[in-house]
Structure 1
């Protein structure tokens, strides 16, 4: 009579025990963190990376620290990388914003911080940007970087490589000269700018009118003045470049297009020999190579310059004109003097640590004469900021900012899942 009752109770106890121990085991493997319990890497001596569950190996952490330290040295922007097993039922985006402001990532004056938060059990990564980086790293760009650089690696469980790729991409964008100016700039006051904005627009419109009247006068003087077509071409091209420096309203785009057409006409306008007065013909790409030096041909092949060769039918007069290409990666070679010199390789000889500096080598090579040159660059050693600096705790923030710069975030950025 009592055996069935006893057996039922035994089975219930066994089921509860199995459930309890499996739950405890799962909790042990994926400890849940709160904003306050996430290890601050600035205090724990791990640089910029907080990885309490050891998802990354030491080499990956060192590489991420090296990239971020180099970025902070060159731009003052601060990046924190946090990879956690779990944050419980918390929303990753809200958690990222709270953690960012709890630590105070970025400089106080510029709010130029970035937090990369990885939550493993939710398979989610959040990119949280400070106020000062929202213009440089808009939400759409953060999302694109996550999908292109991070997700492919994470889907293969190569978490360290994914984070390295994403950090490298952010680093290249933030170190762009145009972006660097925005990083250093003080965001200032952004509230109620409507009246000041209208005043600015009116002043800007008047200055644009004055500028374009002056520019058109200069252009007409160039076109109608005396001089060689080649000289007129470069004078007009320089004038167009000045137009690019001014963000002009839409109607003035027509001026820019018109100047571009005039530049094209000046380059390909029929020419006559200065010696005989005979008409000259523009040679084709295959025909002109026999008149060009090896370095000139190389410049054309790599796209650093373009050459036009004009010749009379009799071949008694020849004119070679060089047109430099803008925005090229090549510079003038110190050996052969052609614009065929470029940085071919960057090699890290010794990674920087907290005890010693690192060393990397930049290798430069010439596409024309094969001249090579190697330059050594010292990588500053990593530094862990002291937690005893003045400032103590952020007012109203609730968290210590002494080890970071005291930056703030308003929730900018984006997230990706894998």
Structure 2
């Protein structure tokens, strides 16, 4: 029985999939998915360095393409906790580390916190994810989402905003006022944006559905419904409508059978035009083959696959080497997490 207990203890203490976890290149920002421009990455790194210097709290930001790249299928929570513990984020005695993990292709993220926080950070981290980060991630604005999210997490765990750790009371008040003004501007933009969008939609709707007349006999054309217009579309055009990348209107003359085809590209679509068939049905997938470091360049592969004709192309690109000036070597303090924090998806 004693031997069995020892074996079970070893299994629990040993990270089962440790060999599949990425190895960190620094303790602040590990952008394995390569979504952060160099300048933004450096700005975030400086904020995290300041937190470490002023409050001795280790906070690391990690981006990956997919958890499947590391042999993990399922929720992000166990993966984040295991990666946190594998790296040993935070002080070993206080267990006050923080990890922001973003799995871009999985569209899942988590803010994992050290076991020293107990459960008191679960609610605040969830609010930051839902109110600050995800609204921007849903617009594919990962840079701003991470930047603002990092600022709010730093404030939550330290009581100070980046750049204000040693500021006077008046300076802090000024900073709060400035952020309030910025927030009001953001709220005003958020409130006005639907009206602008509605106005643009009304203009487009008017242009789209205004009367058309036959060039042959000047009779008014009839707009066919979605079922009837498929008879006048090619297979590729039907594929585009199915994917939602392009919508087609068919105007028909009942007098002479003249047909007018009009296309409307979707405002937001991830599909590109195919080099082979010419239809907007190409889906792009990026895979990081080797992350860039301060000593070597990285490599990424972009695969283009047409959902209509099946054309496939693939190209490998070089990821620029990270500048040594932004290097932040060192190692984590040996902290651990018991699964505290919050998650979100978009």
User: TM-score, structure 2 length as denominator?
Assistant: 0.51
Does the Cα contact within 8 Å between 1:272 and 1:280 map onto a contact in 2? yes
Q: Distance in 2 between matches of 1:68 and 1:201?
A: 29
- Cα shift readout 1:102-132 (whole Å, capped 9, x = no counterpart): xxxxxxxxxxxx974565xx9x78989xxxx
Tell me what 1:367 maps to: 307
- Cα shift readout 1:304-334 (whole Å, capped 9, x = no counterpart): 0101010110244221111110221101112
Larger Rg over CA atoms: 1
Unaligned runs of 5+ in 2: 45-59, 63-82, 99-109, 132-136, 152-160, 165-170, 333-339
Tell me what 1:147 maps to: none
Tell me what 1:83 maps to: 85
**Is 1:139 matched up with 2:126?**
yes
Alignment partner of 2:145 out of 179, 187, 211: 179
Residues 196/183 of structure 1: CA separation in 2 closer, same or farther (3 Å cut): closer
- Cα shift readout 1:48-76 (whole Å, capped 9, x = no counterpart): xxxx9432434232378799451578353
Deviation of 1:274 (Å): 3.2
Tell me what 1:192 maps to: 173
Residues 125/352 of structure 1: CA separation in 2 closer, same or farther (3 Å cut): farther
Q: Distance in 1 between matches of 2:295 and 2:193?
A: 58
Residues 64/369 of structure 1: CA separation in 2 closer, same or farther (3 Å cut): farther
Residues 258/339 of structure 1: CA separation in 2 closer, same or farther (3 Å cut): closer
Describe the SS at the equivalent of 2:22: helix
- Cα shift readout 1:241-295 (whole Å, capped 9, x = no counterpart): xxxx995485785565455334324322332223321011001222222322332
Residues 188/358 of structure 1: CA separation in 2 closer, same or farther (3 Å cut): closer
Alignment partner of 2:22 out of 62, 79, 99: 62
Q: Distance in 1 between matches of 2:139 and 2:220?
A: 50
User: What root-mean-square deviation, in Å, do the aligned CA atoms of Structure 1 and Structure 2 show?
Assistant: 5.8
Q: Distance in 2 between matches of 1:259 and 1:360?
A: 38
Q: Distance in 1 between matches of 2:95 and 2:295?
A: 31
Map residues 229-308 of structure 1 onto 2, 5 A cutoff: 247-248=188-189, 250=191, 256-308=197-249
Residues 178/252 of structure 1: CA separation in 2 closer, same or farther (3 Å cut): closer
Deviation of 1:416 (Å): 6.0
Map residues 164-175 of structure 1 onto 2, 5 A cutoff: none
**Is 1:330 matched up with 2:271?**
yes
Q: Distance in 2 between matches of 1:73 and 1:284?
A: 42
Which is further off, 264-273 or 75-84? Answer: 75-84
Does the Cα contact within 8 Å between 1:306 and 1:325 map onto a contact in 2? yes
Q: Distance in 2 between matches of 1:379 and 1:250?
A: 39
Does the Cα contact within 8 Å between 2:240 and 2:246 map onto a contact in 1? yes
Describe the SS at the equivalent of 1:263: helix
